[in-house]
Amino acid sequence: MDDKPPLISPQKPEPAFTPSGTPPAPPIRPREGDVIHTGPELAVGEADVRSAERGEFVAGTSLWRDAWRRLLKNRLAVFGMVIVATITLGSVTGPFVIKQVTGLTPDYIPTNIAALKSLPPFTAPDGSFSWLHPMGTDNQGRDLLARVLQGGQISLMVGVIATLMSLIIGVSYGAVAGYFGGRLDSVMMRLVDVLYSLPYIIIIIVLLSMFRSQTARGQLILLFLALGSVSWLTMARIVRGQVLSLKNQEFVLAARATGVSTPRIIFRHLVPNTIGPVIVYATLTIPTIMLTEAFLSFLGFGVQPPIASWGSLTTDGIQNIAIFPWQLICPGLTMGLTLFALNFLGDGLRDALDPQMRKF
Amino acid sequence: MLRFIIRRLLITIPTIIVVITITWGLIRLAPGNFYTGDKALPEAIEQNIREKYGLDETWHQQYLRTMGHVLRLDFGTSLKYEGQSVNTIIARSLPVSATVGILAYLLALAVGITVGSIAALKQNSKWDYASMTLAMLGISIPNFVLGPILVLFFSLTLYWLPPSRWDGFPSKSVILPVITLSAIYMSYIARLTRAGMLEVLRSDYVRTARSKGLSETQVVIRHALRGGLLPVVSYTGPALAFLLTGTVVVERLFALPGLGNYFIQASLNRDEPLILGIVAFISMTLLTMNLLVDIAYGYLDPRIRH
């Protein structure tokens, strides 16, 4: 064992200093007798270790390639990623494809009187098997698959836009509080504490019911604003914590010494370094917001017709649960599957980007 | 400890004032008035209404008057349910919401902790994967999808349980709402318990307990659970917020005469006293419960004493 050459040769060239990135880690110099684990969690693959044993240069892996590799090892996360990608693609292109293939649009109401009723999945108006409506039709005879896919556009859009809003507010707020520290920080964070303890869902319901917009588009915008403006609190806390631990590192000092302006230090030097936890939390925020949107639509405060989301389609389905159960089950399970996949993806990303946070 | 409690109680009052101010502001800023409907009222009647509710005073006079009432816990009478004071409505609907909520939480605790502990003790086994997938499913399926599916199965197919109705506590009508409401917490609690237990089972004091020769049951129940359940205790705060939204859904789904249902009706009717009353009540409950959770946390984990 002792006559083996060290795993990583001490002559390894120093990694180049990256101006805005994290400072270079000190080179690892294993001493004799050190046990070096080369399990799957380590960035260096086996091939790299072998080439290192021969004294060759080991190509460094970036945080992202490293995380990507870990993510691909997590079967559930890959499953989540595939489902999310499929449903997103299906929602974006689906209504168009259906129109090309069958000529049906989400709001097409058949002129044939026999088809003017809710058909079960895979059934033609005369009761025989048909591929025309894989999810059946709704009360007016509209194709449910097309409606579910179009509803997916709205649900995903609400989730993504409101999350982006919470991202922008939360990251700037947290970064400013963390960077300046002191009294400003305590005032800003005390405000977050107070907002945290508000029953915000109640306030959203009051907001949406009082300012009910006359147009469906107006209501949708109101929904974005309402959801985005309440979901940035945790993001602000996470970013603040990250910035607090980063701001005293040398690369910030170097930036300051070279005369970089304060906003530039915050947004070009500190914020990019918080991106890992931010991505993880944002991925987990999307399903939460989609669920809240569906909840509000269920209560009748969410998206208004003619716009439909998964939440409002499900709610329409609940009315007919006893006679046409597919009207609830198809949109409901599509939404459930998407949230399920997003949650797995979020968990996988957390394990991949932040292995220390990993819950075994 | 006492200082901590007093300080927290002192923060509670401003928080409630903030909530009420936001709610009141939203109601008043919205276009229209509670008496505006499809038909325009005769001028004399409108004038009488405005006088009765003091709508012609300046806005800060109205604000201070409302605030004064709220702080004295006197919310006045509902605008929609005539002759019923807000306090009566809350007193009547609270037991329904509380029954469903508490039962759902207890069920979630019992099932969640059991499943989570078993998953942690048999880590990476079939049981572990199955229960954690099920838990993720429970988090992902919205309760207003789960509820109707349960109704479809148990009420409309098997005819075992009533699809909706409220017959008071010990009755069949409680079962479906409670299961629907508790599914999501059950899943969260199972996940938290598993994570907490896994961490604790590797800690030194559990190893000490084992090396003293205690039986595995004793190690788990007397030693590991106490530490492993800390995440579950701190989840109680967020859980209460979830419970709030959850009960609103469940009460709408199963037509229960609870607080959430009244709140939605009040928002739709623009019933200002009832909205303010329920919002104030819910905020107070949430803040008090959060305080209790923090106190309990201090007792369970001696490292955190305030």
Best mean pLDDT range from A43-47, A293-297, A356-360, B57-61: A293-297
The stretch B179-192 carries a mean pLDDT of 89
Q: What pLDDT sits at residue B111?
A: 92
A52 and A135 in a single domain? The answer is: no
Q: What percent of chain A has pLDDT over 70?
A: 76
Instruction: Name the residue of chain A whose CA is nearest to B289's CA.
Output: A197
Q: Is residue A7 part of a domain?
A: no
Q: Which residues of B touch A197 (CB under 8 A)?
A: 15, 286-287, 290
Q: What tens digit of pLDDT does each residue of B191-218 get? A: 888 888 888 888 888 888 888 888 878 8
Q: Which residues of A touch B263 (CB under 8 A)?
A: 202, 205
A36 and A87 in a single domain? The answer is: no
Boundaries of domain holding A151? 75-357
End-to-end Cα, chain B, rounded Å: 6
Q: Is residue A137 part of a domain?
A: yes
A32 and A93 in a single domain? The answer is: no
Q: Which residues of B touch A337 (CB under 8 A)?
A: 140
- Compare CB distances from B144 to A211, A314, A337 and report the shortest one's residue: A314
Q: What pLDDT sits at residue B173?
A: 76
Q: What pLDDT sits at residue A61?
A: 65
The stretch A272-296 carries a mean pLDDT of 85
Q: Is the Cβ of A329 closer than 8 Å to some Cβ of chain B?
A: yes
pTM, full prediction: 0.78
CB contact (8 A) between residue B282 and residue A199 = yes
A53 and A93 in a single domain? The answer is: no
Question: Please, are residues B166 and B256 in contact by the beta-carbon 8 Å criterion?
Answer: yes
Alpha-carbon distance of A37 to B2, in angstroms, equals 50
Question: DSSP label at A13?
Answer: P
Instruction: Name the residue of chain A whose CA is nearest to B8's CA.
Output: A194
Beta pairing partners, A129: A123
The stretch A257-275 carries a mean pLDDT of 83
Q: Is the Cβ of B22 closer than 8 Å to some Cβ of chain A?
A: yes
Instruction: Name the residue of chain A whose CA is nearest to B278's CA.
Output: A202
CB contact (8 A) between residue A205 and residue B151 = no
Tell me which residue of B227, B145, B223, B235 sits closest to B188, measured CA to CA. Answer: B235
Q: Which residues of B touch A357 (CB under 8 A)?
A: none
Q: Is residue A21 part of a domain?
A: no
pLDDT at residue B57 above 80?
no
Regarding an ipTM greater than 0.85, the answer is no
pLDDT at residue B225 above 50?
yes
The stretch B171-200 carries a mean pLDDT of 86
A51 and A200 in a single domain? The answer is: no
Q: Is the Cβ of B290 closer than 8 Å to some Cβ of chain A?
A: yes
Q: What tens digit of pLDDT does each residue of A323-337 get? A: 788 888 888 888 888
CB contact (8 A) between residue A199 and residue B279 = yes
At A19, is the pLDDT very low, low, confident or very high (cuts 50, 70, 90)? very low
- Tell me how close the Cα of B157 comes to any Cα of chain A, in angstroms: 9
Question: Please, are residues B246 and B143 in contact by the beta-carbon 8 Å criterion?
Answer: yes
Question: Please, are residues B187 and B112 in contact by the beta-carbon 8 Å criterion?
Answer: yes
Question: Please, are residues B253 and B180 in contact by the beta-carbon 8 Å criterion?
Answer: yes
Q: What tens digit of pLDDT does each residue of B240-251 get? A: 767 777 788 888
pLDDT at residue A104 above 80?
no
Number of domains in chain A: 2
Q: Which residues of B touch A207 (CB under 8 A)?
A: 26
User: Average per-residue pLDDT in chain A?
Assistant: 76
CATH number at residue A232: 1.10.3720.10
Question: Please, are residues B227 and B196 in contact by the beta-carbon 8 Å criterion?
Answer: yes
Q: What tens digit of pLDDT does each residue of B87-144 get? A: 888 888 888 888 888 889 889 989 998 898 888 888 888 888 888 888 888 888 888 8
Alpha-carbon distance of B120 to B191, in angstroms, equals 9
A46 and A80 in a single domain? The answer is: no
A111 and A214 in a single domain? The answer is: yes
Tell me which residue of A213, A248, A273 sits closest to A21, measured CA to CA. Answer: A273
- Compare CB distances from A321 to B30, B137, B152 and report the shortest one's residue: B152
pLDDT at residue A346 above 80?
yes
A250 and A345 in a single domain? The answer is: yes
Question: DSSP label at A139?
Answer: T
Q: Is residue A248 part of a domain?
A: yes
pLDDT: which is higher, A57 or A175? A175
A192 and A309 in a single domain? The answer is: yes
A143 and A250 in a single domain? The answer is: yes
Alpha-carbon distance of A21 to A261, in angstroms, equals 17
- Compare CB distances from A336 to B140, B151, B282 and report the shortest one's residue: B140
Interface of A with B in 233-272 (CB under 8 A): none
- Compare CB distances from B148 to A287, A318, A344 and report the shortest one's residue: A318
pLDDT at residue A28 above 80?
no
Interface of A with B in 46-75 (CB under 8 A): none
Q: What pLDDT sits at residue A10?
A: 45
CB contact (8 A) between residue B14 and residue A329 = no
CB contact (8 A) between residue B29 and residue A198 = no
For residue A130 the two structure tokens come to 């048909």
Q: What pLDDT sits at residue A211?
A: 80
The stretch A63-91 carries a mean pLDDT of 83
pLDDT at residue A26 above 70?
no
Q: Is the Cβ of B152 closer than 8 Å to some Cβ of chain A?
A: yes
Question: DSSP label at A211?
Answer: T
pLDDT at residue A9 above 80?
no
The stretch B173-184 carries a mean pLDDT of 86
Question: DSSP label at A273?
Answer: G
Q: Count CA atoms closer than 13 A to B254's CA, side-chain side.
A: 35
Q: Is residue A352 part of a domain?
A: yes
- Tell me how close the Cα of A85 comes to any Cα of chain B, in angstroms: 17
A178 and A292 in a single domain? The answer is: yes
Q: What pLDDT sits at residue B232?
A: 83
Longest dimension (CA), chain B: 86
B246 exposed, middle or buried (CB, 10 Å; 0-12, 13-18, 19+)?
A: buried
A330 and A274 in a single domain? The answer is: yes
User: Average per-residue pLDDT in chain B?
Assistant: 82
Q: Is residue A2 part of a domain?
A: no
Question: Please, are residues A328 and B145 in contact by the beta-carbon 8 Å criterion?
Answer: yes
Alpha-carbon distance of B242 to A201, in angstroms, equals 9
The H-assigned helical ranges of A197-246 are 200-210, 216-230, 233-246
Q: What pLDDT sits at residue A272?
A: 80
Contacts 24+ apart (CB under 8 A), A131-138: A132/A102, A132/A104, A135/A326, A135/A330, A136/A324, A136/A326, A136/A327, A136/A330, A138/A316, A138/A324, A138/A327
Q: Is residue A69 part of a domain?
A: no
The stretch B186-195 carries a mean pLDDT of 88
Q: Which residues of B touch A328 (CB under 8 A)?
A: 145, 148-149, 152
Q: What percent of chain B has pLDDT over 70?
A: 96
pLDDT at residue A260 above 80?
yes
pLDDT: which is higher, B190 or B245? B190
Alpha-carbon distance of B273 to A266, in angstroms, equals 46
Q: Is residue A14 part of a domain?
A: no
Q: What pLDDT sits at residue A18?
A: 42
